[in-house]
Amino acid sequence: MSQSENLPCSFVIFGATGDLATHKLLPALFDLENAGRLADNLSLIAFSRRDWTTDDWLGHTRAILQDKVSQPSHQMVLDRFLARFHYLRGDLNDAESYRTLAADLAPGSTCSRTVFYLAIRPADFVAVIKNLKEIGLNEPRGMNRVVIEKPFGEDLESAQVLNRVLHQHFDEEQIYRIDHFLGKETVQNLLVFRFANTLIEPLWNRNFIDHVQITVAESIGIEKRAGYYDRAGALRDMLQNHLMQLLTVVAMEPPPALEADALRDEKVKVLRSIRPIAKRAVHAHAVRAQYTHGNISGQTVASYQQEENVEPDSITETFVAAKFYIDNWRWRGVPFYLRTGKRMPKQNSMIAIRFRHPPQQLFRETPLESITPNWVLLSIQPEESMRMEIHVKQPGLDMNTRVMQMNASFLRTDEQTLDAYEALLLDVIEGDRSLFIRFDEAEWAWRVIDPILKFWTVEREYIPTYPAGSWGPAEANRLFDSDDQIWRNEL
């Protein structure tokens, strides 16, 4: 089958008027249009419950994308993009709406491939999947594609149930479980950084690395998502998916080929090698907390319990830090510290790898007697860069040093990074599953955090707090294995 025959001719967005579609999907699809990466015959269908016409939808979309239209040529691109759309008012739980959708997909179609993007609440996934099957939109098997946003389930059991429903009606090759962190340039470039450089890969193991930190900090609060977030919390919302995926990319072995299943096989091996956390050890391996009122960038912000629609006595965690060990030949004994939180001082997603101290005391009885360790810093957002910290001697008569950052950034001054959703949506359209999550990845990630989740479910009386605008609770420091380990907050 040729590449053109493999391309879909329809792209359906369920939940087209929601925040995800508004802020991520529509801008990314427009950028792909502007780059000439959408096939001429690709039609876009916006599915939503709002009582709109197609003209209403086009006006809404034009307003969303207006900031991207800065030149006359962009206006032509926008007109071409909007001409692809048809709006369909429908209810996710109403089979008749899917019959109307099926009728819209049929006339004049030159191919049978369709992408169904579920930009909806996780609670609605099963209803959509079953209705697609009821109307026959899952047939023929192996053709249409379903894109599912995280979180994939609420715990291990619900993830397995959702997977069984999916596999009743779609093959695994049709299912694209999306984690937008895997589409970021820095994360993809990490594979090149490690496996294309003989300078780096020999050092990437327990003999040279002291510990690894993965931080995803957000300055924002829950932004009117209390209905979802107060049930999920930071452990489900971020650590089980985003941070676990970053851990696998840092720790995986070199795959035999840059193919979807080869990459994901190695990631699953990492997750299966993570040392299980016993119930009695949860307190030593994980910390949770909730933000109180504080100050961020000069603005006073409310506590989590004062957010709209949050229960006044809620103990949902908005911060979580956890320590994991990977029991394999490469990483045995190296702690991986994962941390994420809301209402922190700034948005900052970073992987920080600290190397061991030199094994000899060459510089004792000199000003270098206590030397700081080397770091590799991989910034994912807001900027995307790679840096290495090494020691150099300062000019002068004494043996004094300073830390110098070697910038290994892949981005030149005249280049722009590709938005993660642009990359992933293009992969969906072209059928490349390399950067998407296979079910056994999601399942093993749930298995890793399941002991923490179950322990916190029964520990409902108290949760530590941290002021908004801080880097989290002091309790997070007790996870460290040694006194000289500290959180790396910034580049």
Q: Is residue 485 part of a domain?
A: no
If asked whether residues 253 and 337 sit together in one domain, one would say: yes
339 and 446 in a single domain? The answer is: yes
- 191-195 average pLDDT score: 84
Compute the distance between CA of residue 93 and CA of residue 83 in angstroms, rounded to an integer. 28
Answer yes or no: is pLDDT of 230 > 60.
yes
In the prediction, which pLDDT does 363 show? 60
Per-residue confidence (pLDDT) for residue 365, from 0 to 100:
62
In a domain, 490, yes or no: no
User: Is residue 212's pLDDT more than 90?
Assistant: yes
244 and 382: one domain?
yes
Are 319 and 288 spatial neighbours (Cβ–Cβ below 8 Å)? yes
Give a yes or no: residue 158 inside a domain. Answer: no
- 156 within a domain of the structure (yes/no): no
Average of per-residue pLDDT across 217-245: 89
Nearest to 342 by CA among 471, 213, 478: 471
**Same domain as 251, residue 136:** no
CA distances from 355 to 116, 191, 210, 448, 491 (A): 45, 19, 5, 26, 16
Reported confidence tier of residue 5, pLDDT bands at 50, 70, 90: low
The pLDDT of residue 297 is 87
Tell whether 489 is covered by a domain: no
Mean pLDDT of the chain: 87
Same domain membership, residue 120 and residue 38:
yes
CATH assignment of the domain containing 82: 3.40.50.720
Query: For residues 287 and 201, what is the distance between their CA atoms, to the nearest angstrom?
Result: 32
Residues ≥6 apart with Cβ < 8 Å to 360: none
Residue 457 has pLDDT above 60, yes or no: yes
Give me the phi and psi of 228, to 5 degrees please.
-90, -50
pLDDT, position 302: 92
Q: Which residue has the higher pLDDT, 289 or 409?
A: 289
pLDDT of residue 374: 86
CB contact at 8 A, 407 and 392 = no
* Predicted confidence (pLDDT) at residue 360 exceeds the cutoff of 70: no
Angle 125-135/156-169 helices, nearest 10 degrees?
10
Of 103, 133, 149, the residue that ends a domain is: 149
Tell me whether residue 412 is exposed, middle or buried, using C-beta atoms within 10 angstroms of its C-beta: 0 to 12, 13 to 18, 19 or more: exposed
Mean pLDDT score, 241-258: 91
In a domain, 378, yes or no: yes
Q: Tell me, what's the pLDDT at 257?
A: 85
User: What's residue 462's pLDDT?
Assistant: 85
Amino acid identity of residue 426, one-letter, is L
Structure tokens at 324: 């994991």
pLDDT of amino acid 474: 93
The whole-angstrom separation of Cα 334 and Cα 273 is: 13
Is the domain of 121 the same as that of 241?
no
Q: Considering 124, 149, 174, which residue would you say is the last residue of a domain?
A: 149
Q: Is 469 left (phi over 0), alpha (psi -120 to 50) or beta?
A: left
CATH of the domain at 285: 3.30.360.10
How confident is the model over 296-315, as a mean pLDDT? 90
- Whether residues 79 and 214 share a domain: the answer is no
What does the pLDDT read at residue 481? 94
Residue 263 tokens, joined: 């990459």
pLDDT at 184 over 80: no
Same domain for 465 and 354, yes or no, is yes
What pLDDT digit, counting tens, does each position of 100-132 carry? 998 888 654 556 689 999 999 888 899 999 999
Tell whether the model's pLDDT for residue 260 goes beyond 60: yes
Residue 370 reports pLDDT greater than 70: no
| 331 confidence band (pLDDT: 50, 70, 90) | very high
What are the two backbone dihedrals, phi and then psi, of residue 20, each rounded to the nearest 5 degrees? -60, -50
How far apart are alpha carbons 353 and 79 in whole angstroms?
47
For the segment 353-373, the average pLDDT, to the nearest whole number, is: 71
Q: Are strands 319-325 and 375-381 parallel, antiparallel or unpaired?
A: unpaired
| Residue 213 and residue 120 in one domain | no
Active site annotation includes 242: yes
Q: What's the confidence (pLDDT) of residue 2?
A: 45
Give CA separation, 381 vs 12, 60, 152, 399, in Å. 29, 29, 24, 37
Of 242, 293, 357, 391, the catalytic one is 242
State the pLDDT at residue 367.
58
> CB of 34 within 8 A of CB of 62?
no
Q: Which of 103, 132, 149 is the last residue of a domain?
A: 149
Query: Among 37, 136, 49, 57, which Cα is nearest to 90's?
Result: 49
Q: Which pLDDT band holds residue 1 (cuts at 50, 70, 90)?
A: very low
Q: CB burial class (10 A; 0-12, 13-18, 19+) of residue 365?
A: exposed
Residue 319 in this model has a pLDDT that exceeds 90: yes
pLDDT at 419 over 80: no
The number of distinct structural domains making up the chain is 2
Residue 235 lies in a domain: yes
Strand 85-89: give its sheet, edge to edge. Answer: 85-89, 43-48, 10-14, 114-118, 145-149, 175-178
- pLDDT above 80 for 406: no
pLDDT of residue 82 exceeding 80:
yes
| Residue 222 confidence class, pLDDT cut points 50, 70, 90 | confident
* 405 and 258 within one domain: yes
The region of weakest confidence among 2-6, 295-299, 343-347 is 2-6
Mean pLDDT confidence for 192-208: 88
**Domain span including residue 23:** 3-149
What share of the chain in percent tops pLDDT 90?
A: 53
Q: Which of 29-38, 162-171, 456-465, 480-489 has the lowest mean pLDDT?
A: 456-465
Together in a domain, 194 and 138 = no
